[in-house]
A and B are shown apart, each in its own frame.
Chain A
Amino acid sequence: MKEIKFILNGKEVSVKADPLKRLLDVLREDEKMTGVKEGCGEGECGACAVLKDGVLVNSCMIPLGAAEGSEIVTPEGIRETDKGKCIIDAFGDAGAVQCGFCTPGMMMATEALLTINNKPDESEIREALSGNLCRCTGYDLIVKGVQIASERGKDLW
């Protein structure tokens, strides 16, 4: 047990836990951030994706100790921002959401992509989403959702 501090969605939090505890479990269990999903627990699916100091990471692969002092953003941290709303609306209009289990992770991947490249082409989008698995959509409409977000959100990123 150790007390570990980090910034979660803009607020400092301090968690008393085993530093080896997965960040995913800390977020879901201790912080009740259930927008972060567990799809595989082994770094393969991206359902647990969060931003760590601005970089897209799989929270199931990060021990709490490694998050110390860093800035973590979960879907809860962006869904009510202008960027988050833009992505969510674009996903809605594109038909990008089916069962929805992968979608918060897809939103995080989209946010990470548009931050570094606000006008991605189809292949750049497919590349950026390739760490996030979706079993329902076949990806076409998610790709379209990202395109719509990038068109509409020109000035946001």
Chain B
Amino acid sequence: MVGAIHELPIKGWIDTKGVKMGARISIPVRRIDAKEKAGGWTKYIGDYQFKNLQHGRFLRSERARAKIIEIKKPDFPEGYYYIDASDIPSSGKNNIQMIKDDWRVFAVSDVKYIGETIAVILGPDKQKVLDLLNRIEVIYEDLVPAFTFDDALSCKGGAVYGDNNIFSEYLLNVGNVDNAFKDAVKIVEGKYETGFQEHLYMETQGLVGAWEDEKITIYASSQCPFYIRKSVAVTLGVPVEDIRVRQTTTGGAFGGKEHFPDVIATPLAVAVNKVKKPVAMIYDRIEDISFTSKRHPSKITIKTGLDKSNNIIAMDIDTLVNGGAYESSTTIVLQRAILHGIGVYNIPNARIRGRAVATNTFPSDAYRGFGAPQGLFAIEMHMSHVADELGLDSSDFRRKHFIKTNDITITNAKMHDDVKLPEMFEKIDEMSDYSSKVKEFANDPVKGIGIAFVNHGGGFTGNGEQAIIKGVVKMKRLEGGKAGLYVSVVEMGQGLQTTMRKIAAKELGLDYEDIVYDNPDTDIVPDSGPTCASRSIMVVGFLVQECAKKLKAKWNEGVGVEAEDVYKHPDGLVWEQETLQGDAYPSYGWGINVIEVEFDPVTYEVKTTGIWAVWDIGVAIDETIMQGQSSGGVIQALGYASIEKCELKNGTFMQHTMADYTIPTSLDFPKVETCFIDNPYKYGPSGAKGAGELVFDAAPPAYAEAVQNAIGKRIYDIPVTPEMIMEALK
């Protein structure tokens, strides 16, 4: 039985002033932050005025791998400073405490990638700071750098990390792969590659460190205020309570402001600790594109064995991701890539070897999807290629292998979700006319259509929510019939300021505008964990719902009464972190995209002529906000799949500006036709599951398959550029 399938209110709009959150939470409201943002009232980090503000710039490595022999500095005028590792207090350390703490706050004696922080130069006048920076000369002795997967695996120039350049390695196995391959009547193999991707949030990275009330306060455009607090405290060697972090309204993040602000905040805090004045570290766009983390490039090889009836009986996958010079979150990204490695399929015998390698490239880090888009691109393209090899319809072939409720996953656990992919396929087929177009375009020389099926695990992997995060939320009854909501997850464009209010308001029977929820300040809110991993609504939102119930029960005790809720892992889930065995995620979002394209045989340009998306995100907390996520995620993913090329040459990104790293404009893609199906999740607020990353996952393989069908040649890599098509057609 399909849950209620409802279209979005595409036509017209709803004036929601004064609407109480009724039984159906999904009915859209006007975003609480819309007016202030649209009119330019909202302040972002660069819009605040700080008294006596100093401007900081980083002295960065210009070499990918080298010894630092000498740093020649000009005389610094009074009030201008050169801050480096020697300014870290003796109680602190020169490490950035992220998931791993290997990334150094300041490079000392050697450098490992182009852009590595060596020092902070600061002073009252921006231009003078730049002049000083330009007059500093660093003398290097070059070493042999490693950039590619091959360089890393062969330890070119000696290992960058450990003795083999492998940050981490996993082996997942279900069934008996070697035996099954013996029975295979046909074997198909393919190698799939994805590149770097720049986040290109419209607001660049920016933090201001200030010395207030005898303590360091960091104002940050960021996803995770408590991550910054922890890393700064460790670097300075002080208790976390001595550091205050206040999130400023964040102009887009997409994972780029999950850990990377720590890389800015730690040297910044060392500087503020020394000069005791406010210091701004706000990147300009060229710095931001050139010297921030990107999505992990991947190289994935898949070998599939089939029986006589064209059923997949075995699959062997080898996954590599490039973590760059420091590990940071790379191991967790690798985990997600392999945990999504066989996609939405039931493969009885499957094995995935995953390795994250070290190179002398800018450290890769979090980006919407966190490894899943790479794994899903490879498996979806491969399934398409296997079908092609067998002369079968690509979607029929994939649908035949769909995982079902209670089937065994790659981590040897049962799939607990109520999997509605078949119904979702029917829906998208009806919306897009996919099946008839497949036939219609089969012999068309320029048109193509592609489809992709994905899922995305919500929240931290395994029992991470319980073992590592232990999220806490608080609420309080305020004057005037209002309630305060205290959480550490942030609004970064995804709508949290509105959706969280809706969740709380629904339980309390209040108007969503009567919930007070400010940008998090670590001195005020409890640690509900970071804003990432599609966890904010599903995990923290559920805590908010439960907390609101508690507050409601105590409401009559009067103004000031408080309630708190702490994360509790859903019953019956098991997880073994070392071996990645058990229930990898408490639940999954599911999705299907269909993309239609037309290519120009003269210029090799591809024009997208139709985009359709069907999602199972449990229940949408707000349909308009979710439509915005769907359109935004799909278009960002289509950029990744088509035009967003970020090339590395001798350790430097070749793209430095928005003119050479181009993202989709309003003209590049048509409207994303979106539909959500209801499939409530027991442990999500009003049944909602994670959604922010899922919406990125399906478009790249759907697009690549569409192009491959249009040009009649298989596609293995993204971005699919006109040059690549020309090459393929040669």
Contact = CB atoms under 8 A, between A and B. Distances in A.
A23 interface: no
Contacts of B631: 137-141
A29 to B, nearest CB: 10
Contacts of B627: 95, 140-141
Interface in A84-100: 84, 87-89, 91-100
A25 to B, nearest CB: 10
Contact of B249 (A100, A104, A148): A100
B39 A134 contact: no
A37 B203 contact: yes
Interface stretch (B42-50, B293-301, B455-463, B706-714): B42-50
Given A93-B30, A136-B632, A140-B631, A76 B40 contact: yes
A45 B658 contact: yes
Interface in B660-691: 663-667, 669, 671-672
A135 B202 contact: yes
A135 B250 CA distance: 13
CB-CB nearest 3 A-B residue pairs: A35-B40, A100-B37, A99-B493
B666 A129 contact: yes
Interface in A1-44: 28, 32, 34-42, 44
Interface residues of B, number: 61
A88 B217 CA distance: 34
Contacts of B671: 122, 140, 143
A125 B665 CA distance: 12
A101 B254 CA distance: 14
A34 B202 contact: no
B236 interface: no
Contacts, number: 189
Contacts of B657: 40, 42, 44
B285 A135 contact: no
Interface in B198-222: 199-204
A67 to B, nearest CB: 19
Nearest to B253: A99
B195 interface: no
Contacts of A57: none
A41 B13 CA distance: 35
13 contacts: A32-B49, A34-B43, A37-B40, A37-B251, A38-B284, A47-B202, A76-B40, A79-B40, A95-B31, A97-B37, A134-B202, A136-B202, A137-B631
B495 interface: yes
B336 to A, nearest CB: 22
A28 B202 CA distance: 17
B39 A142 contact: no
Interface in B23-81: 28, 30-31, 33-44, 46-47, 49
A143 B586 CA distance: 37
Contact of A93 (B14, B494, B665, B672): B14
A63 to B, nearest CB: 16
A38 B628 contact: no
Contacts of B666: 125-127, 129-130, 132, 134, 139, 142-143
Q: Which of A28, A99, A126 has the most CB of B within 10 A?
A: A99
A84 B39 contact: yes
A99 B203 contact: yes
A122 B37 CA distance: 24
Given A44-B657, A130-B666, A140 B672 contact: yes
Contacts of A64: none
A91 B44 contact: no
B624 interface: yes
A138 B39 contact: no
A104 B634 CA distance: 23
B632 A42 contact: no
Contacts of B630: 138
A93 B249 CA distance: 21
A125 to B, nearest CB: 8
A103 B38 contact: yes
Given A36-B40, A88-B38, A143-B666, A137 B632 contact: yes
A102 interface: yes
A91 B15 CA distance: 12
B31 A92 contact: yes
A131 B666 CA distance: 8
B251 A139 contact: no
B203 A126 contact: no
B305 interface: no
Contacts of B669: 138
Contact of A79 (B15, B39, B664): B39
B658 A40 contact: yes
Contacts of B120: none
Contacts of A107: 38-40
Contact of A75 (B39, B254, B634): B39
Nearest to B631: A138
A94 B623 CA distance: 11
Contacts of B15: 93
B541 interface: no
A100 B13 contact: no
A56 interface: no
A35 B49 CA distance: 14
Contact of A40 (B13, B249, B285, B633): B285
B514 to A, nearest CB: 18
A76 B65 CA distance: 48
Given A37-B44, A140-B627, A135 B35 contact: no
A20 B133 CA distance: 23
Given A92-B31, A92-B34, A138 B40 contact: no
